[in-house]
Homo-oligomer: A and B are copies of this chain.
Amino acid sequence: MKALKDKIRTEGKILPGSVLKVSSFLNHQMDSDFIMKIGEEFARRFQDVPVDKILTIESSGIAVALAVGTALHVPVLFAKKHLTSNIFGEPYQTVVHSYTHNSDYTVVVEREYLNQGEQVLLIDDFLANGKALEGLLELISQAGAVAVGAGIVIEKGFQEGGERLRQAGLRVESLAIIEDMDESGIRFRES
C-alpha cells in the first residue's frame, strides 16, 4: 500500500532496538481517515473469503480492526490483555510473551463471542516475532473457530514471525513489509 509506505517514510521514527515508531498516525495518535482507508484495503485483499468476525488484541489493534469491520460490516472482537472484573465464567485464554516489554501477559476472550466454525480474520498493527498473533490463533483454536488469515499493517520482515506463520499455513497479508531499517532509512520488501 503505497500511501502507507509514504507515510511510514515521512512520519516514522526509527528508535533503538529495531523499534519503528508510528505514533503520529497509527497507534497513539491516529489519522482517522487514513485508518478507514487501511480498513478498506484489507477488505479488498480478503474479498475472496467469507469473514464472520474480526479478532484483534488491545490496544493498538482496535482502531484498524474497527475500520476493517466497518468495511466488511462484521463485528470486531478484541482480546483483552488481563482478566478484568467484568469477565465471568471461564474465558478462552492463553499466555503471550512480549519482547517489547520483556514480560508475559494473558490474553482472554469470553466464550460467547467466539464460536465454533466462525470464519475469523485476524488484524493487528504490527507483526514482528508473531507471538501476539500466535496467541490469537490459540484462542481461535480453543473456540473451534477458523482463522481465514491475518491482516497486518506493518510487518518487520527482518524478524521471523511472518515467515514462521506463513510456513505454518496462515495467509498473512501485510500492507508494508520492512526488509531492514537503520539510521539511513527504511527499505521495504517489493510486493
Contact = CB atoms under 8 A, between A and B. Distances in A.
A53 B70 CA distance: 21
Contacts of A12: none
A179 to B, nearest CB: 22
Interface in A61-91: 62-63, 66-67, 69-70, 72-78, 80, 84-86, 88
B100 A84 contact: yes
A86 B30 contact: no
Interface in A127-158: none
Most buried by B among A17, A31, A86, A100: A86
A41 interface: no
A116 interface: no
A17 to B, nearest CB: 8
- Give the bracket for the number of chain A residues in contact with chain B: 35 or more
A101 B85 contact: yes
Given A21-B86, A35-B66, 13 more contacts: A28-B78, A28-B109, A30-B75, A32-B54, A32-B69, A32-B75, A32-B76, A36-B70, A58-B58, A58-B59, A62-B63, A66-B67, A86-B100
Interface in A30-65: 30-33, 35-36, 54, 58-59, 62-63
A76 B30 contact: yes
A62 B73 CA distance: 18
